[in-house]
Structure 1
Amino acid sequence: MELPGFKVGKKYSMTDVDNWIKEGKYGSFFDFYSSLVIGKHRSDYGRLKQQIDQVPVFDFNSGRYDINLLKSDLFAVIDTDNISVIKNPSYMCIATSNMKISNFVPAGTSYDKYLTTYLGKCKGDDKITCVCGIGKGLFPYEHITSFNVLSQTSIPPQLAFDSKLRGTSITSNENERVKFVWEYYEMKSIKDLLVWYNNLDVVPFIKAIKAQREIFKRFDLDIFADGVSLPGLSEKVMYQTCFNNTQYPDKKPANAFQFPAKRMSGYKSQDAKAKREFGMTLDHLDTAAKPKLSVWIMLLQADR
């Protein structure tokens, strides 16, 4: 294949392509790919380009406001330090694809239930001293009334974990677990407890997503490319397992609606009893139009 603007006979690697993208010669890998002279593109070129151009952002139960919170981490991951946002007469944009995992699980599934479904329950024999890193942590949401509270150096009391919003409270065993992780990880303030809690929200989440994707790979499906929700993926799995050679059932046109003969005869008998002529005729239309015509004539005469 030919590389426009580059020397013939020299070998290039993906590292070179990455450098060209960082230098601004290409907006993305597919911009580079589209410049190659290798014949026709794949039929799904547009869909693949859209998927690769977007930065996937996975969440379970978040909102649009979370985008502002992850900007700094997002830019650090995709390495935008050496990229100028101004490109020719336009600006470079970073498109994100927000993948809500809650769309790929049954309705009402909690985050904790999602983790236990794909990762199993805690691996340790003692739930208090377990450090397997699977499952949700504990954090006193409503106890944090200001940023200064995060600097407190003492363990929050058990009542601090009560939630008036949810109407829940932690058990004595869960309180003992908080004390254990505080000492085990040598926490100095409530901020360290928040870091531990957030890490348990991210690391097991990534593992659960990978485990879920592996299940659908058995059916040659990518949950984030072949469907936008669990029902769509389930439909594709159904057609693979219920029909031979993944053939969709034949769709035959439905039979036209036949007006019931009994209903028609009933209408005729009603018209006969009322001494009405059955069916709409020109006489009916003329008769119906006469009152309206007379009204218009009267209105025109009144205007004069």
Structure 2
Amino acid sequence: MGDNLEEISTSAFQILRDTCFKDAFEYLETLREEDDKGRVNLLKYLSQLPVVGLNSGKYDLNVIKPYFAQRFLISEVDDCESDSECGNSLRQWGERFVIKKNNEFMAISTPFLKFLDITNFIAPGFSYTKYLAAYEVEEQKGFFPYEYITSIEKLNETSLPPRDTLYSSLRNSELPVQNYDYVCKVWKENGMTSLRDLLIWYNNKDTRPFIEALAK
């Protein structure tokens, strides 16, 4: 997962450097002999891909943190002459830090990625529903059998489990009939062949409104 995110970060960095910020880099290059701080700071800023979540500091980041431990190992960096030939080397100078509050991660920074929890930037007690409503984004919540998935192998199952197996201990109830019927309809209309397909659909339903709100 870490490698995939860093590949995305690298691609985004190259696009931004060569398009939106091309003029800025050309100007800063003319000042390089006098003061190179501006160019280097802009490189570092663009090289970090923001990864934003809601309540991710309590949940998501605690789950994925073992996969990013190696990203905090500091290695030596050779000097380089131009952005094009050593963009990645400059990026290795990026700041590495973790900000925690009790067991909650407020931020994790690597040279390529910066993980942030949006709840640190909005009013306390602001729910996901209220957050979307504040930016006039319609919530599109899906349904997924969390507790039924007890192993990664279950994602390969080729049919929906019976409704009576989709019990939620959090809500202390089964999935309502109308919600189960909706999931069955989605399964059929989207040509799903496994619970893995349903998980992808569910994640997209959960994240697209969030991204739309962030963009506003």
Task: Compute the TM-score of the two structures, normalised by the length of structure 2.
Answer: 0.57
Which residue identity is paired with 1:161? Answer: L
| 1:202 positional shift | 2.2
Contact 1:112 1:136 in 2 (8 A): no
Letter in 2 for 1:114: Y
Report how many aligned residue pairs link the two structures: 161
CA contact 1:30–1:49 (8 Å) conserved in 2: no
Distance 1:148 1:86 in 2: 41
Partner of 2:52, secondary structure, is strand
Cα distance in 1 for residues equivalent to 2:213 and 2:154: 32
1:196-228 Cα deviation digits (max 9, x unpaired): 0011122221111112xxxxxxxxxxxxxxxxx
Contact preservation (8 Å) 2:32, 2:39: no
Deviation (angstroms), 1:59: 1.0
Whichever residue aligns with residue 88 of structure 1, its letter is: D
Amino acid at match of 2:31: V
Percentage of matched positions with identical amino acids: 32
1:212-268 CA-partner distances (Å, limit 9, x unpaired): xxxxxxxxxxxxxxxxxxxxxxxxxxxxxxxxxxxxxxxxxxxxxxxxxxxxxxxxx
Which AA in structure 1 matches 2:127? S
- Matched residue, 1:149: 154
- Please show how residues 126-165 of structure 1 align to structure 2 within 5 Å: 134-165=139-170
Identify which of 173, 176, 186 aligns with 2:178. Answer: 173
Residues 144 and 150 of structure 1 are in contact (CA less than 8 Å); yes or no, is this contact kept in structure 2?
yes
Matches within 5 A, 1:288-299: none
List runs of 5+ in structure 2 lacking aligned partners: 1-13, 69-74, 80-87, 93-110
For 1:177, give the aligned amino acid: Y
Q: 2:190 aligns with which of 180, 185, 192?
A: 185
The answer to whether the Cα contact below 8 Å between 2:52 and 2:116 also exists between their aligned partners in 1 is: yes
Distance in 1 (alpha carbons) for counterparts of 2:179 and 2:135 = 23
Indicate the residue corresponding to 1:130 in structure 2: none
Partner deviation per Cα, 1:22-44 (whole Å, 9 max, x = no partner)? xxxxxxx9887654238987x99
Q: Is the 8 A contact 1:142 1:163 kept in 2?
A: yes
Q: 2: CA distance between counterparts of 1:199 and 1:98? A: 19
Specify the alignment match of 1:88 in structure 2: 78
The 2-side partners of 1:106 and 1:138 are apart by 27
Query: In structure 1, the residue corresponding to 2:153 is in which secondary structure?
Result: helix
For the 8 Å contact 1:55–1:95, the answer to whether it is kept is yes
1:197 equivalenced with 2:198 (yes/no): no
Q: Counterparts of 2:30 and 2:63 in 1: how far apart (Å)?
A: 40
Question: In the aligned structure 1, how far is the partner of 2:206 from the partner of 2:67?
Answer: 15
Partner of 2:127: 110
Q: Secondary structure at the match of 1:56?
A: strand
Structure number with bigger Rg: 1
TM-score (norm 1): 0.43
Report the counterpart of residue 99 of structure 1 in structure 2: 116
SS at match of 1:137: coil
Q: CA deviation at 1:180?
A: 1.1
Q: Distance in 2 between matches of 1:96 and 1:189?
A: 32
Gaps of 5+ in 1: 1-13, 19-28, 71-84, 122-133, 212-304
Shift in CA distance, 87/170, structure 1 to aligned 2, threshold 3 Å:
same
Query: Retained in 1: the 8 A contact 2:154–2:195?
Result: yes
| Cα offsets for 1:100-139 (capped at 9, x unmatched) | 1112333233334433442444xxxxxxxxxxxx512110
| Deviation, structure 1 residue 194 | 0.4
Higher relative contact order structure (alpha carbons within 8 Å, sequence separation ≥ 6): 2
**Is the contact between residue 112 and residue 135 of structure 1 (CA under 8 Å) also seen in structure 2?**
no
Give the drift of 1:141: 0.6
Partner of 2:8: none
1:248 corresponding residue in structure 2: none
Larger strand percent: 2
Aligned equivalents of 1:148, 1:87: Cα separation in 2: 42
Supply the RMSD in Å over aligned alpha carbons: 4.1
Alpha-carbon separation, structure 2, partners of 1:109 and 1:167: 24
